[in-house]
Structure formats: structure tokens, C-alpha cells
Amino acid sequence: MIRARTSIALPVLGALLILAMLVATGFGAETLPLSSVLEVLRDRVAGRTPADLGLDTIIWQLRVPRTLLAAVVGAGLAVAGAAMQTLVRNPLADPYLLGVSSGAGVGAAAVITSGLFASAGVWALSGGALAGAFVAAALVFLIAVAQGGLTPLRLVLTGTVLGSAFAALGSYLVFRSSDPAAAQSVLFWLLGSLAGADWTKIALPSGAVACCGLALLAGSGWLDALTLGSDTAASVGVPVKAVRVALFVLLAILVGVLVAVSGGIGFVGLVIPHAARLLAGPRHRTLLPTCALCGALFLVIADAATRVLVRPTEIPVGVLTGLLGAPAFLILLGRRRYRFGEA
């Protein structure tokens, strides 16, 4: 039943994602018809000189990279959320459980309020956020190992406590800043935004999502066993400690890179994995691709909505994902046939 449902869901989700990306590319301060979007894309693919350079700049240089980045970040957060829930065996886990988002927030706040990494130009903010994310993940790892290992409970507690500490440090950096616009800039970044997307920022997150996603898919059998508990996984030959370490490192890299380019976009990594389980079941071989497509589709639509709801300005995409994600999660909780980790 689940296999038949998945075989239908994946192609349908793929088609919906392509359609959503084409339509979303036309949304912005000025809505452009789908025919204009297709015309520019045809010219670019064929290598022809664009007939309208202004239209080409808007669509190809600004909106296409943003739409692609939304799809990549949405897919990555959803996959990371599913893997994190497996790592800690907790249905309330999300990709930011390791304190990565809070650490990235400290790095971003340091860049915005003090000009740290100013020599990196447009990469200063992303570089600072990435450094902060990796520092936070490293601290969680070292403290958890020093206290007895990467057990689910220890990871949850360590990540939560250090995340709170990093959030407080980020708030302090904003508080002590003499720039009145710093607080607004940091808040906008923390809530998540894809407004700074361009072609130079596509390669790194795309590579991270592809490599980490393939690695997780290759170990899908071990992830299935981990869902049943460490004792059960060990009894069928899974090297539990080594898999947990590898999973931790993969998720730290993946989430760190995504947060660095998009800020802290909430609820995608929490809600989408549960929705995907209703379509694909708990087996990671089908769950992970379903998560990727659902997450990409969700964030593409959400990002397009942020550009048109309060035109000509836009709201942080994390605000909208939170407003949509909270009721969606409550609806999922109300479905009697849904059980975390069960077919």
C-alpha cells in the first residue's frame, strides 16, 4: 500500500515542484506572466541574446537563483529534519536541535554589529554564520562525548542548553551595538530570508544537500534500524556509535551551510518529515526523497508568498513558514493513523 502510494507521490510531487518554481519566478514587486518566464528561460538554454535585457535581468539574475535556492534549502531542511528525528528518536526534533542555528545567529550578529569578516565582502555574513554554526556543533559534540557519548537524550539536552546560551550571546551582541539598524538586520536574518540569493550562492548549498542526501540515502537501512532503538540496531549488525557520529557530522555540515545562506527558517524541518511519513511511510529509502520534494515545494511556495503579501516590501520567510507550519503540525497530530516511526 505504502509502496504504491509512494510510486505515485514522487512523480506528482516532482511535477508540482517544477510548476511551482516556474510560477514563483514570476512573483515579486511586479508580477510577470508565465510566458515571459518561459521565454527568458528558452533564450538562456538556447544561448540566444535576450530580446528584453531588463526582463532577462529580473528573471534570470534575480528570481531564478532565488527560486532555486528556496528549493535547495527547503529540500535540505526537510531531509535534515527527518535524519535528526531518527538520530535522537524524537518526533519533536528539528534540524536546529544541535544549536547550529543559534551559533549561526551569533556569527551573523557579530558580523552585522562589529563588521567582522568585512574583507570577505558579500560573503561576510554567510561566512560569519557558517563559522558560528560549526563552533556550536563542535561544542555540542565535544560536551556530549565527554559526558558519555552521543546518546539521544544527551544530544537533546546538550543541544537545547547550548542553543539557549548562544541565543543569549547573540542578543547581547545586538544589545551592546551602537547601530540602531543592527537589531532589525539581525532579526530579519534570524527569521530567515532568501532575498540575497544570486548565482554565486547556489553551488555550496546545492553540493551540501546533494552529497549529504546521497550519504543518508546510502545508509537508509541503518537509519531504519536506529529508529527502532540502539539495542535493536546493534543486534542486526549496525555500528551504532559510528553511525551516530557520522550522522552528527553530516547534519552539522548540512544545516550549517543552509543556515549560513538563508538564516533560521523554522518549521520546515519539523513539519515536512511528518507529512512525508504519511505519504511514504517510515522507511528512509522512500522517506528521504519524499521529504526533499515536499520541503522544496513548501519553501518555494512560501518564499513566493512573502514577495506578494505585502508588496512592494517583503516579510521574512520564517514568519510565514511558522504561521503555516504550526496549524499544519497540529492537524498531523490529530490524525489517528499516524505514529512516528511506524508503518
pLDDT for 95-115, tens place per residue?
998 888 899 989 988 888 877
C-alpha cell of residue 200: 554565486
Residue 341, domain member (yes or no): no
What CATH number does the domain containing 46 carry?
A: 1.10.3470.10
pLDDT mean across residues, the chain: 88
- The string of pLDDT tens digits covering residues 295-309 is 999 999 999 999 988
Number of domains in the chain: 1
What's the average model confidence in pLDDT over 309-335?
82
Q: Say what the pLDDT of residue 343 is.
A: 42
Assess whether pLDDT exceeds 80 at residue 123: no
Answer whether residue 209 is part of any domain.
yes
In this structure, is residue 121 part of a structural domain?
Answer: yes
Instruction: For residue range 163-222, list pLDDT tens digits in order.
Output: 999 989 988 888 887 777 777 778 777 888 898 888 988 999 999 999 999 999 999 999
Of the chain, the end-to-end C-alpha distance in Å amounts to 10
339 within a domain of the structure (yes/no): no
| pLDDT score, position 119 | 64
Q: Which residue, among 216, 181, 244, 180, has the nearest Cα to 75 in the 3D structure?
A: 216
Q: Domain for residue 338, yes or no?
A: no
Residue 343 lies in a domain: no
Residue type, 101: S
- 334 vs 82, more confident: 82
10 in Cβ contact with 281 (< 8 Å): no
Weakest-pLDDT range from 5-9, 105-109, 166-170, 326-330: 5-9
CA atoms within 13 A on the CB side of 85: 25
User: Once rounded to an integer, what is the mean pLDDT over residues 31-35?
Assistant: 90
Domain span holding position 297: 2-333
